[in-house]
Structure 1
Amino acid sequence: MDHLRSAAWYQGADRNAYIHRAWMRRGLPDDALDATKPQIAIANTASDLTPCNMHLNEVAESVKQGVWAAGGVPYNLPVVSLGETQVKPTAMLWRNMAAMAMEEMFRANPIDGLVLLGGCDKTIPALLMAAASVNLPAIVVPGGPMLTGYFRGEALGCGTDVWRLSEEVRAGTITNAQFQESEQSTIRSKGHCNTMGTASTMAVVAEALGMTIPGFAGTPAADARLLKKSHETGRLIVDMVAAGRRPSDIMTRESFLNAIIAVAAVGGSTNAVVHLLAIAGRLGIELSLADFDAAGAGIPVMANLQPSGAFLMDDLHRAGGLLALLAQITDLLHPEPITVTGAPLVDALGGHPVYDDTVILPREAPLMADAGIAVLRGNLAPRGAIIKPSAASPELLQHVGPAVVFDSVEDMRARIDDPELDVTADSVLVLRGCGPRGYPGMPEVGNMPLPRKLLEAGVRDMVRISDARMSGTAYGTVILHVAPEAAAGGPLGLVRTGDIIRVDVAGRSLSVDVSEEELRSRGQSPASEAAYAKPSRGWAKLYVDHVMQADTGADLDFLVGSSGDEVSRESH
């Protein structure tokens, strides 16, 4: 392997090579730094403050054993870790920072290949963005979902059932004490959310893009086979370095279209949209919201998983896993894209039967026949907004109603349960100031709680519209990622309470019954403007000054594209 990048650090008789070698010896075998030994970094997002990724140090040990077995030299490289449930104000604020820090560390160090250990929502996207920009041979190890927990004999979907039970408390159908009691049962084991939330969706995306060993996505974190696959991954990355197989060889435009199809087929999270757009942007691949609408059109939802369906992630694994599901729609996938193995993804789909067709539904009897993420446009969202029809109420997918506008998250929380709030089940709840720039970070608040008085009257869903995101574990008729956002001058900032809003998902339209002339004459709400983020220093200021809109992936404008793996200056 005379092409190894790490040779620029370790080979030679000069002082710099001496220093690089000497400081890394520390018990390594004598030949560990030879020109024939690939140096493999295990980019590890393990952290005690990222609960979903706590187990990744154990996973890293299995990867290390695989690397050693294949003739490589592994190194644990801790990288920025983002715990969706822990960090405030929102983990999305730091996805781009994590990707930037990862990219710089991958480029700066004597590394020939990368194993990317992720789990919680933002970690796999950030790792893939970084790997795309540095374009070293790389492979993803998804940390896996937790095992299903049970409360009073009923399976709990973490996230989805939290939203459901918390609304039932507000409706008065269960007590808060009962709700609190369920807390001990929700998180049963190591791993991320057990619903088809964003973490599971991004594992599906990584596999559909070709960036994992086929059959890895959805392997439960507590399953011994996850460690077996991690060992295999360690062996494979050494082969990838030898073959020179890089992310740009694997993640092509057709790979992204396959990922969109896979997300539709599993009823995946709307957050996949902004992450796929951002990853594609790092590779210089043209991908737009229109591609999500086109590639996802006519794709049946066959995964009967929460939040769209009934089952959970360990049920999917038991029923045959992602490969068994994709095998039913092989004819819809692009056949050319390869995986990290070097073979086409579609070649891995043979011989994977479905073992439980109540979990992986037959193609001819799906959960929904056409439920890919829908892109809506109109005078309320000139650059697009998205909705997940499989998680919505069918009767609300075409709806006309008066707006009830909230100028900020704080405004919404202060007034949503006010008995005097002028709202009915036909109203459309509008929340603004929660986009990438306005909050900042585009928090997961789009699935607003319903007004208490309507919950008590039996209402369980309403049309909700915002420039925010929502958790992949959430559900409801929720229109998200409105672009441009209010803080960027979008028309969402001009809507007033009482304006009539029209939603037509089948017709792909989202509009407000106000003339263009009238909208142009209106100013932004002073309350909204007062609530927009105005950071004066640090990452938040850099982010607000440079973040792009949701329809292009909400990356920073100066991070789009790739800088490759070359270090710009030599050490002295």
Structure 2
Amino acid sequence: MVSLRSQEWYAGQDRDGYIHRAWMRRGLPVDAFDGEKPHIAIANTASDLTPCNLHLNEVASSVRDGILEAGGVPLNLPVVSLGETLVRPTAMLWRNMAAMAMEEMFRANPIDGLVLLGGCDKTIPSLLMAAASVDLPAVVVPGGPALTGTFKGRPLGCGTDVWRLSEDVRAGVMSAQEFTDSESAMLRSKGHCNTMGTASTMAVVAEALGMTIPGVAGTPAPDARLLATSHATGKLIIEMVREDRRPSEILTKAAFHNAIVAVAGVGGSTNAVVHLLALAGRLGVDLTLADFDEIGQRIPLLANLQPSGTHLMDDLFRAGGVLAVLAQLKDQLRPEAITVTGKPLVDYLGDRPIYDDDVIKPVTEPVLEDAGIAVLRGNLAPNGAIIKPSAASPELLTHRGPAVVFHSIEDLHARLDDEDLVITPDSIMVLQGCGPRGYPGMPEVGNMPLPQKLLRQGVRDMVRISDARMSGTAYGTVVLHVSPESAAGGPLGLVRDGDLISLDVPNRTLVLEVSDEELAARAAAPADSSTAAPTRGWEKLYVDHVMQADTGADLDFLVGSSGAKVGRESH
């Protein structure tokens, strides 16, 4: 067995060893410090203010039992938790902070391995970024989706149906009271969103990257099998420590290839792009936007799940789960990529059956061909922008129309339903000032609500373009992550009402039909005063150092890993 890192704290008869052992003896047995038992931190994002992760304390108990059974020392380590639905101004503002705080706690403490408990959107990405940076043996347990709720006999998709129902109210086809009544049915159990939103997507990504026990992603939060797998994970992390199996060995370029294939196959969230790019940056893996397009565009959509399809996450689980989807795509996966078990991911696929082919389509009859996230380029997005074709209206994937520009989210809210707003179904809605630096934090506002007067006419989708993100539960012909963002001097900030914009997803172009000379003249005008300019605290650090969406919106000084070595000795 490899020498245990925790012994750097606990070994020896000097004063430091005495202090470290004495203060930790409250509850730990004498042999906890003998150098034979790995000390495992259970990095726990359970929080009453992260409602999707409330049950992770129960999951942690099962992990603890597995660690004890395998001869380890389990240590609960509460870490920063980000509740997607509650945190203002946007949880994405705090992803890098959470990852940085976790990394420092993992490095600073006497631990030999990590079990990472996440669920809600930013928790799994921040845990993975931190674990990759410190490179201690680590394994993820995703918290799992909620069971399907119903309203008036109809299943409800978390998030996706919020967007649909709220637009129905604004269109006058649903009453405000009915909308409120549906609220109590939206989530009927513990767990995160039951659609293929960002939370479910990042669980799938963690599994496709090889960072979970294969087969756990998508297990519903109330399902007893989640606790059984959590127990098994507690046992596995002891093996990983003893064999020194680290994230850097698992999270290779091949693993990222497999994650991109998985995102396309399940119709995953566009947010996976910024999270995977940021994670790759922590590892020094050469991953770019071009990889998402080159790998993903030939992958069919097989999971018929909201928002790209009709079913929900507990349907996916009963139909065969994530591994059944990946088994259909086995020929597209890189076989050399290993998992936390030490075995290749492809070894777990075999001839996985599909138990409901309306939920998981066979590769010969996909929901959609070429379902990967598309990367667009042109003079409006020199460094790229993305769109999710599987959630868009096919007839709008090639479209040319005049811009209707909103300079900020506040401007959008103020003018959207003005009856005098000059806008038609052919217009292209453009939102500025919502990128990583401009908002700050790159909020999920890219799927702008449509003007009420158009909703009354029956319009339910329009082309929308921004430097923002959108919820993985959202849908529509929405161009996102335009880079550089407007606040960083990107061309998006130069768009004016009436400018013609051409979107051509099949040819991967996004063009502002304005001459270079005119754009140069506009660029010389005074900067938009709505750009964020914080003067202190995390927001200032973030705005000063955040990178653009095309590289993952991490902080520039966090790129690259620092390893597990503590910089200076204590005491």
Q: TM-score, normalised by structure 2?
A: 0.99
Maintained 8 Å contact 1:494/1:524: no
Maintained 8 Å contact 1:438/1:532: yes
Superposed displacement of residue 523, structure 1: 3.4
Is 1:564 the counterpart of 2:557 in the alignment?
Answer: no
Provide the residue aligned with 1:447 in structure 2. 447
**1:509-550 alpha-carbon deviations (Å, 9 max, x no partner):** 001110111111113776x72211110000000000000000
Maintained 8 Å contact 1:500/1:513: yes
Select between 30-39 and 60-69 the one with higher mean Cα deviation. 30-39
Provide the residue aligned with 1:420 in structure 2. 420
CA distance in 1, matches of 2:528, 2:546: 18
Provide the residue aligned with 2:191 in structure 1. 191
CA distance in 1, matches of 2:524, 2:319: 51
After superposition, the Cα gap between the structure-2 partners of 1:368 and 1:54, relative to the gap in structure 1 and judged at 3 Å, is same
SS state of the match for residue 316, structure 1? helix
Provide the residue aligned with 1:542 in structure 2. 541
Provide the residue aligned with 1:27 in structure 2. 27
CA distance in 2, matches of 1:163, 1:117: 29
SS state of the match for residue 386, structure 2? strand
SS state of the match for residue 343, structure 1? coil
Maintained 8 Å contact 1:197/1:472: yes
SS state of the match for residue 74, structure 2? strand
CA distance in 1, matches of 2:93, 2:47: 18
Is 1:382 the counterpart of 2:350 in the alignment?
Answer: no
Q: Which amino acid aligns with 1:97?
A: M
Q: Which amino acid aligns with 2:67?
A: V
Superposed displacement of residue 351, structure 1: 4.1
Provide the residue aligned with 1:3 in structure 2. 3
CA distance in 2, matches of 1:248, 1:500: 46
Maintained 8 Å contact 2:107/2:566: yes
Provide the residue aligned with 1:532 in structure 2. 531
CA distance in 1, matches of 2:271, 2:551: 13
Provide the residue aligned with 2:244 in structure 1. 244
Superposed displacement of residue 344, structure 1: 0.2
Is 1:338 the counterpart of 2:338 in the alignment?
Answer: yes
Alignment RMSD: 0.8
CA distance in 2, matches of 1:230, 1:307: 29
CA distance in 2, matches of 1:257, 1:326: 13
1:48-67, aligned counterparts within 5 Å?
48-67=48-67
After superposition, the Cα gap between the structure-2 partners of 1:2 and 1:160, relative to the gap in structure 1 and judged at 3 Å, is closer
Q: Mark the runs of 5 or more structure 2 residues left unpaired by the alignment.
A: none
Provide the residue aligned with 1:174 in structure 2. 174
Provide the residue aligned with 1:311 in structure 2. 311
Provide the residue aligned with 1:393 in structure 2. 393
CA distance in 2, matches of 1:438, 1:524: 19
CA distance in 2, matches of 1:465, 1:251: 32
1:235-314, aligned counterparts within 5 Å?
235-314=235-314
Provide the residue aligned with 2:203 in structure 1. 203
CA distance in 2, matches of 1:469, 1:81: 20
**1:4-60 alpha-carbon deviations (Å, 9 max, x no partner):** 000100010001001000100112222112101100000000000000000000100
Q: Which amino acid aligns with 1:562?
A: S
CA distance in 2, matches of 1:59, 1:197: 22
Superposed displacement of residue 2, structure 1: 5.1
CA distance in 1, matches of 2:277, 2:37: 35
SS state of the match for residue 436, structure 2? coil
1:92-107, aligned counterparts within 5 Å?
92-107=92-107
Q: Which amino acid aligns with 1:540?
A: E
Q: Which amino acid aligns with 1:566?
A: K
CA distance in 2, matches of 1:485, 1:540: 17
Provide the residue aligned with 1:39 in structure 2. 39
Maintained 8 Å contact 1:2/1:35: no
Q: Which amino acid aligns with 2:49?
A: L
CA distance in 2, matches of 1:392, 1:466: 15
Maintained 8 Å contact 2:501/2:513: yes
Maintained 8 Å contact 2:311/2:359: yes
**1:219-260 alpha-carbon deviations (Å, 9 max, x no partner):** 000001000000000000000000000000000001001100
Q: Which amino acid aligns with 1:131?
A: A
CA distance in 1, matches of 2:322, 2:481: 27
CA distance in 1, matches of 2:539, 2:166: 31
Maintained 8 Å contact 2:323/2:352: yes
Q: Which amino acid aligns with 1:84?
A: E
CA distance in 2, matches of 1:96, 1:175: 40
Maintained 8 Å contact 2:380/2:510: yes
Q: Which amino acid aligns with 1:36?
A: E
1:82-161, aligned counterparts within 5 Å?
82-161=82-161
Q: Which amino acid aligns with 1:534?
A: A
After superposition, the Cα gap between the structure-2 partners of 1:184 and 1:492, relative to the gap in structure 1 and judged at 3 Å, is same
SS state of the match for residue 557, structure 2? coil
Provide the residue aligned with 2:162 in structure 1. 162
Provide the residue aligned with 1:362 in structure 2. 362
CA distance in 2, matches of 1:116, 1:479: 32
SS state of the match for residue 268, structure 2? coil
Provide the residue aligned with 1:223 in structure 2. 223
CA distance in 2, matches of 1:71, 1:532: 54
Provide the residue aligned with 1:512 in structure 2. 512
After superposition, the Cα gap between the structure-2 partners of 1:519 and 1:344, relative to the gap in structure 1 and judged at 3 Å, is same
Maintained 8 Å contact 1:433/1:486: yes
CA distance in 2, matches of 1:435, 1:324: 36
Provide the residue aligned with 1:433 in structure 2. 433
Q: Which amino acid aligns with 1:568?
A: G
Maintained 8 Å contact 2:2/2:244: no
Q: Which amino acid aligns with 1:3?
A: S
Q: Which amino acid aligns with 1:543?
A: Y
CA distance in 1, matches of 2:93, 2:209: 25
CA distance in 2, matches of 1:299, 1:516: 36
Maintained 8 Å contact 1:133/1:562: yes
Maintained 8 Å contact 2:2/2:242: no
Provide the residue aligned with 1:552 in structure 2. 551
CA distance in 2, matches of 1:27, 1:481: 49
CA distance in 1, matches of 2:334, 2:2: 35
CA distance in 1, matches of 2:290, 2:122: 24
Task: Kindly tell me the number of residue pairs found equivalent between the two proteins.
Answer: 571
Q: Which amino acid aligns with 1:383?
A: N
**1:89-140 alpha-carbon deviations (Å, 9 max, x no partner):** 0000000000000000000000000000000000000000000000000000
SS state of the match for residue 529, structure 1? coil
CA distance in 1, matches of 2:306, 2:382: 31
CA distance in 2, matches of 1:43, 1:28: 19
Maintained 8 Å contact 2:107/2:134: yes
SS state of the match for residue 556, structure 2? coil
1:469-480, aligned counterparts within 5 Å?
469-480=469-480
**1:459-496 alpha-carbon deviations (Å, 9 max, x no partner):** 00000000000000000000000000000000000000
Question: Which 4+ stretches in 1 moved above 3 angstroms?
Answer: 523-526
SS state of the match for residue 95, structure 2? helix
Maintained 8 Å contact 2:46/2:57: yes
